[in-house]
Amino acid sequence: VLDFNDPFSSEVKPRILLMGLRRSGKSSIQKVVFHKMSPNETLFLESTNKICREDVSNSSFVNFQIWDFPGQIDFFDPTFDYEMIFRGTGALIFVIDSQDDYMEALARLHLTVTRAYKVNPDINFEIFIHKVDGLSDDHKIETQRDIHQRANDDLADAGLEKIHLSFYLTSIYDHSIFEAFSKVVQKLIPQLPTLENLLNIFISNSGIEKAFLFDVVSKIYIATDSTPVDMQTYELCCDMIDVVIDISCIYGLKDDGTGTPYDKESMAIIKLNNTTVLYLKEVTKFLALVCFVREESFERKGLIDYNFHCFRKAIQEVFEVRMKVVRSRKHQSHLQKNKRPTPNGTPRMPL
């Protein structure tokens, strides 16, 4: 079991802490994004009363631990070793209920961020301004501006202007929570610049408007090209993945129910009524490439498929390099454990 004290744990599986006050929506976010729970079903979730850890290992890129902290727990209490908690953390997500009075939440956010930063300056601080589905568009913007201003003013007053906070408007009732989690996860992927560069090369040589590299299970996009992301475009991609998986589960399995609904033969083409084509291709058993192509460009499908073959080969090489690094680190961690003396002071014998 990987734990807080294991340095290999945080190197291979970055840790994401999910924090916030009670009933802010932390557990609901986790259930909707990673367990495919319907947003309406989350209304019946009981309040979390203990720290819950979950390993998310859908692919070697989406590969991290989520620690869900109950809002009522004071982890700065002497019984908690908060330094150990923050030391190996890659990202800290603090959830603020936008429909509630958020003054107490801002005070807790400031305390959490300042303590965490002193222990680990490399943590990414992500603020989810949550439950915005109940606010008007103007109220959303005003709430985000107010929370942003107050949080940064508090840090400035404490002489900590160099701490960077990222803010996201989120709701489990639309795709905003998936997009926000995508941005959080991307910061924890060391290969992100390589993936973005490969996507840029692919679309520029294929006449493609926009391309996303999706984790099929969670619908988190782990990389996209350098052109801006449009929310409607992202939603269409998510819907396409749902359609492909649903149909594959019905018609893609063998008569005896064996096989997988998503494999190397998985591919889909959806023509929209605005002369745009959505094109999905399997990259690995966990990743899919979803592209937006103009109809006139899609007539050169042979060129796109050839370039895709080159792209997939390059992605596989990135995977192979990553796995070599993981195996090397695992071996080094194993050697370090064996070098540590036993409780009676004698050196450990190598296994």
Q: Which CATH architecture has domain 191-324?
A: 2-Layer Sandwich (3.30)
Q: What secondary structure does DSSP assign to 40-52, as a single string?
A: GGGGGPPPP-S-E
| Cα distance between residue 55 and residue 3, in whole Å | 11
pTM of the model: 0.82
Q: What is the CATH number of domain 15-188?
A: 3.40.50.300
| Cα distance between residue 70 and residue 23, in whole Å | 9
pLDDT tens digits, 160-199: 989 999 999 999 999 899 999 999 999 988 888 999 999 9
pLDDT tens digits, 297-335: 999 999 999 999 999 999 888 878 777 776 777 777 667
How many angstroms separate the Cα of 305 from the Cα of each of 66, 123, 197, 214? Answer: 37, 40, 18, 18
| Cα distance between residue 16 and residue 237, in whole Å | 25
Question: What's the alpha-carbon Rg for the chain, to the nearest Å?
Answer: 22
DSSP state of 36: -
Domain ranges of the chain: 15-188, 191-324
Identify the residue with better confidence: 105 or 7.
105
